[in-house]
Structure 1
Amino acid sequence: MTTKSIPLTDDLHAYLVAHGSPPDEIMRELIEETRAALPDDARMQVAPEQAAFLTFLTRLLGARRAVEVGTFTGLSALAIARGLAEGGHLTCFDISEEFTGVARRYWARAGVQDRIDLRIGPAGETLRELPYQRDIDFAFIDADKTGYPVYWSELVPRMRPGGVIAVDNVLRGGRVIAPGNADDRAIAAFNDEVLADVRVDAVMLPVADGLTLARVL
């Protein structure tokens, strides 16, 4: 047996998804619509197993107050909203009315629209509108890669002790070990920043394109 994560063939990936809270009809239709209507951008959607993990993690934390930076067509937000404790609330930050218009339709179909507050605008600015108090249980960062340090700096001081920040795309398809473009270099530098941040303990997991989980101390 290997001591490393094994590569996933298409068949093995399908098996993994089928055995880990597979997408229901609403999620499947959202995934399919995103791929069909936005083929050039569909890569920004979280993987199905990642969506299941976000719901599981949100439930595990008993999260009531959650924040998402980068919503796209709403799959990750739907997953997080479904995992919130009773009375929980998710604040989403995105810049696109077009993409989040798709999200709103599916949130309504899933009956979670009342748990989600969507704010449109540059997240580096709109995040600063959040109260400066340590009450966020869970945060998910999956937006423009060069903006990650800004989002991190705004979120960490607002997380409750023991709260968790999940950060997507931290492996950049494997290119973080030899960054080839500005986004790759930004993520490689950000990963080093997280490793050196004494306010958190963190683990990087090979989920989808790499997922860092950081627990705020």
Structure 2
Amino acid sequence: MKENYTQLYPNEQVALAVGDYAFSHSSKLPKHITEHHAWGVESQERANYMISPLQAQFQIWFAKAMGAKRVLEIGTFIGFSTLGWVEAVGPKGHVTALEYSAEYAAIAEETFAKNGIKNAEVIVGDARESIKNLVETLKEPYDLIFIDADKTSYPTYLSLILSLSPPSSTSVRLLKKDGIILADNILRRGLIADSSEANPWSDAAKQKAERNWKGDPDKEALDAFNKALVGSERCDVFLMPLFDGLGMGRLLD
């Protein structure tokens, strides 16, 4: 349906102007969050692992709107998005961040300490195992789970979230009923929807070679995640085609 294709951005100049306008007309990020992002851009080789400041604005607004007080973040990097969740849940809330890299986790923890943040913890290790261990000690479920880690594990993370949040369980589940799953990068610069030469990010456009992404484990996993999320009878789903694609699922039972 043509109504699905609202053309806000006829060219790159307008797209940049719209992004700047949206950022300046949304609630401002606290100074310590914007400063950490700026530091990350300047100092980190993989600064693109961070979400954008505009996405941080959205996530803070969204978490506040739903009244989230407990957030689990799968993949924290240097803690920029984690700072946003801490801002959203408030001093009486709690944020648990899972990070594979001890180096990145140390930066995040140092940032929390520098800013007097006491309600965020970082668990270092393979998130697939950390999640299993975490649920054994939980006293109450999470309100929101944000996935922004290794893309090949996205289907596994979703499977773990659902299996560890059984509707009839008498023990504490990982995600509460009506809790939210957010997954970042699920469109991967549009390549999941269109990897032809028309997409300048595609290998086909860059190398005039492959016309699809079959065989790319990251993109195959993201496509599998998207199909599994929308195909789950337990989830109410919306795929938001903003940022790098944000998958949103509400756990119904």
Shift of 1:64: 2.0
Over 3 Å counting, the alpha-carbon distance change for 1:5 and 1:54 in structure 2 is farther
Identity %, equivalent residues: 29
Q: CA deviation at 1:86?
A: 5.0
1:59, 1:85 within 8 Å by CA — same for their partners in 2? Answer: no
Alignment CA distance shift 1:64-1:5 (3 Å): farther
Matched, 1:9 2:15: yes
Indicate which of 76, 80, 84 corresponds to 1:75.
80
What letter is aligned with 2:65?
L
Asked if the contact 2:158–2:225 (Cα under 8 Å) also holds between the matched residues in 1, the reply is no
Contact 2:144–2:179 (8 Å) recurs in 1: yes
Specify every segment of 5 or more residues in structure 1 that has no aligned partner in the other structure, as ranges.
Answer: none
Contact 1:62 1:85 in 2 (8 A): no
> After superposition, where does 1:62-211 map in structure 2 within 5 Å?
62-85=67-90, 87-112=92-117, 114-131=118-135, 135-156=141-162, 157=165, 158-177=174-193, 178=195, 180=213, 181-211=216-246
- Which region of structure 1 is more displaced relative to structure 2, 11-20 or 165-174? 11-20
The secondary structure found in structure 1 opposite 2:8 is coil
Give the drift of 1:5: 5.7
Given that 2:105 and 2:124 are in contact with CA atoms closer than 8 Å, whether structure 1 keeps it comes out as: no
Alignment-derived partner of residue 25 in structure 1: 31
* SS across alignment from 2:161: helix
Residues in 1 aligned to 2:7 and 2:87: alpha-carbon distance in whole angstroms: 28
1:39-59 CA deviation, whole Å, 9 max, x = no partner? 3x1111001111111111221
Letter in 2 for 1:32: A
Residue type of the alignment partner of 2:182: A
Q: SS of the counterpart of 2:135?
A: coil
The total of aligned residue pairs comes to 215
RMSD: 2.0
User: TM-score by structure 2 length?
Assistant: 0.78
CA shift in 2, pair 1:5/1:192, >3 Å: farther
Gaps of 5+ in 2: 166-173, 196-211
Task: Give SS of 1:175's match.
Answer: coil
In 1, distance between residues paired with 2:90 and 2:111?
20
Question: What is the TM-score with the length of structure 1 in the denominator?
Answer: 0.91
For 2:58 and 2:111, the matched residues in 1 are separated by 19
More helix by share: 1
